[in-house]
Amino acid sequence: MIEGRTILGSIGLAILVVFAIVAILAPHIAPYDPHQMYRPLEHPSSRHLLGTDNIGNDILSELIYGTRVSLFIAFVVSVISMIVGTSLGLIAGYFDKLGFLIMRVVDVFLTIPRLPLIIVIASFIRPSVWNLIAIFLIFGWLMTARIIRSEVLTLRRRYYIDATKMIGGSDCYILWRHILPNVVPLVVVQFIMEATHVILAESGLSFLGLGDPIARSWGMVLHDAFECPIIYVSDIWMWWMLPPGLCIVFTVLGLTFVGYALEETLDPKLKSQAYGREL
């Protein structure tokens, strides 16, 4: 069981590294400029490995550059969400009155369904990468704040916090030296979960047509494919729909595996003596 965990985590990490490399080296790897138009709806050939879409863009290049968009959005949103979420979580856990207020806000926003609100907001604004990032940030920090606060409350009950106070440690010192290190593993797991959600949400939004039409993410490519009336005819879907979809799938898979591998390391409730015999 321990081995299973590590194997999964390693596979996940490998996948993510591959995508990261593609994203970083995109201009060097992509055969063409994704906005350059060639003959539309071409089948895969030696010149266009994945063929071209309905306006003649090389699909492979679109996907490679799309990696940049999808990963960039996910990364930026996750990093900022973690910083904001952790900070607010720490403050909320440590200072009670402020914490109460913050948690009310968190509760309200967690109860409101994410996607419908995101869709509505997105349809009111000009679609662009930074706008999308802003929208996702509205919700990204919530869960992290709640989890971190909960952990801080638990940690506070432990005697050594009081002991440190007794010997004169300031609140800042306590937060930094004692609480933060315990909180880091949780943040890492949340980071991965948030990244997963963002990738799925962003591709979903783009699929609905709300993504950035210029910096085309995988979701946008799928959107165009779906909107094409002859998509199911003569196997066009094979090189226009499957590849972008699979890119999304593998990225999320990589993240999920890594997240899962890390989660089991941290959750104490999964006692090792829990078992069931043959039924």
Partner 1 sequence: MNLLEITDLKTYFPTQDGIVRAVDTIDLSIRERETLGLIGETGCGKTVLGLTILRLLHPTTTVEGTIIYRGSNLLKITEAEMRRIRGEEIAMILQNPTTSLNPVMRVGEQIAEAIRLHQGLSRKDAKEKAIEILDSVRIPSPSGRVNEYPHEFSGGMKQRVMIAIGLACDPALIIADEPTKGLDVTIKSQIVTLLEEVTEDTAMLLITHDLGVARALCDRIALMYAGELVEYATTREIFENPLHPYTRGFLGSLPSNGLVPIPGMSPSLINLPDGCRFHPRCDHAKAICQKKHPDMIEIEDGHFVRCFHA
Partner 2 sequence: MHQISKLTYYLVILFIVLSINFFLPRVMPGDPLSYLTDPGADIPARITEEKMEILLAYYGLDKPLSEQYINYMVGIIRGDLGWSIYYNAPVLEVILGRLKWTLLLVGTSTAIHVTLGILIGATSAWARGRKKDMGLLIFILSISSFPSFFLGILLVIFFGIKLDIFPISGAQTAFATYSSPFEEIFDILHHLVLPAATLVISHIGGTYLLMRNSMLGVLGEDYIMTARAKGLSERYILHRHALANALLPIVTMTAMTVGFMVTGTIFVETVFAYPGIGNLLYNTVLYRDYPLLQGIFLFITVAIVGANLIADMLYIRLDPRVKHE
Among 46, 116, 181, 273, binds partner 1 (CB under 8 A): 273
Binding span for partner 1 by CB under 8 A among 65-73, 90-98, 181-189, 270-278: 270-278
* Pick from 181, 182, 156, 178: nearest CA to 169: 178
Residue closer to partner 2, measured from CB, 86 or 217: 217
In terms of C-beta density within 10 A (0-12 exposed, 13-18 middle, 19 or more buried), how is residue 126 classed?
Answer: exposed
Give dist(CA 77, CA 191) in Å, integer.
9
Give dist(CA 132, CA 108) in Å, integer.
22
How many residues would you count in the chain? 279
In angstroms, give the least distance from the CB of 17 to partner 1: 28
Decide if residue 274 touches partner 2 (CB under 8 A): yes
Give dist(CA 105, CA 102) in Å, integer.
5
Decide if residue 271 touches partner 1 (CB under 8 A): no
125-164 footprint of partner 2 as x/- string (CB under 8 A): xx--------------------------------------
Q: Are 81 and 144 in contact (CB under 8 A)?
A: yes
Give dist(CA 226, CA 238) in Å, integer.
12
Pull the structure tokens for residue 28. 């060097």
In angstroms, give the least distance from the CB of 160 to partner 2: 27
Residue closer to partner 2, measured from CB, 185 or 204: 204
Decide if residue 46 touches partner 1 (CB under 8 A): no
Among 8, 179, 183, 193, binds partner 2 (CB under 8 A): 8
Q: Total number of residues binding partner 2 (CB under 8 A)?
A: 51
Report the first-to-last Cα separation within the chain, whole angstroms. 20
Q: Is the dihedral of CA 180, 183, 185, 191 positive or negative?
A: negative
Residue 57 sits at φ, ψ, to 5 deg, of -75, 145
Of partner 1, partner 2, none, which one does residue 71 interact with (CB within 5 to 8 Å by kind)? Answer: none
Decide if residue 229 touches partner 2 (CB under 8 A): no
In angstroms, give the least distance from the CB of 190 to partner 2: 16
Percent of the chain as helix, strand, coil, to the nearest 5: 75, 0, 25
Among 28, 46, 268, 275, binds partner 1 (CB under 8 A): 275
Q: Are 177 and 23 in contact (CB under 8 A)?
A: no
Decide if residue 186 touches partner 2 (CB under 8 A): no
Give dist(CA 23, CA 20) in Å, integer.
5
Residues making contact with partner 2 (CB under 8 A): 1, 4, 8, 107-108, 111-117, 119-121, 123-126, 200, 203-204, 207-210, 222, 226, 232, 237, 241, 245, 248-250, 252-253, 256-257, 260, 267, 269-271, 273-279
Please report, as ranges, the residues that interact with partner 1 according to CB under 8 A.
273, 275, 277
